[in-house]
Every structure is written in structure tokens, then in C-alpha cells.
């Protein structure tokens, strides 16, 4: 699955900021290819309002 950070983490709750970091994203517009596992799905679900997900 391909995820892209679309919105800033500034002003977000600490757990959301840490989840975005755990997904390997640092900057707006940055994209990562991740394997589709239940753990990754859970993290994406938690911060889906900040991401764009392509499968």
C-alpha cells in the first residue's frame, strides 16, 4: 500500500504525531510504500484524516 502525508501534524495530539512518525513520514507530500499488514492498517486508520492511501 502507498501512503502520502497530505496534512500537517502541527497541533495534533502526541499519539497522532508519533503514529505518523512510525509510518515513516516526516514532510507533507512524502510517500512511503508499506506492506499491507493489520498493524499498518491500524496505524493508517488512526491518522487517516492526515493521509492519502492508495492500494
Q: Looking at residues 18-40, what average pLDDT do you find?
A: 97
- Three-state DSSP class for residue 40: helix
Please state, in angstroms and rounded to a whole number, the distance separating the CA atoms of residues 45 and 19: 10
- How confident is the model at residue 24, as a pLDDT? 97
Asked whether residue 55 carries a pLDDT value surpassing 90, the answer given is: no
Number of domains in the chain: 1
Asked whether residue 51 carries a pLDDT value surpassing 90, the answer given is: yes
Asked whether residue 34 carries a pLDDT value surpassing 90, the answer given is: yes
CATH of the domain at 14: 3.30.1390.20
Range of the domain at 41: 2-54
Contact yes or no for 18/47 (Cβ under 8 A): no
- How confident is the model at residue 44, as a pLDDT? 97
Edge-to-edge order in the sheet of strand 51-54: 31-33, 2-5, 51-54
Q: Looking at residues 24-38, what average pLDDT do you find?
A: 97
Amino acid at each position: 500500500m502507498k501512503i502520502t502525508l497530505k496534512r500537517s501534524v502541527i497541533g495534533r495530539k502526541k499519539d497522532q504525531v508519533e503514529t505518523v512518525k512510525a509510518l515513516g513520514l516526516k514532510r507533507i507530500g512524502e510517500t512511503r510504500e508499506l506492506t499491507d499488514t493489520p498493524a499498518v492498517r491500524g496505524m493508517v486508520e488512526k491518522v487517516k484524516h492526515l493521509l492519502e492511501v492508495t492500494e
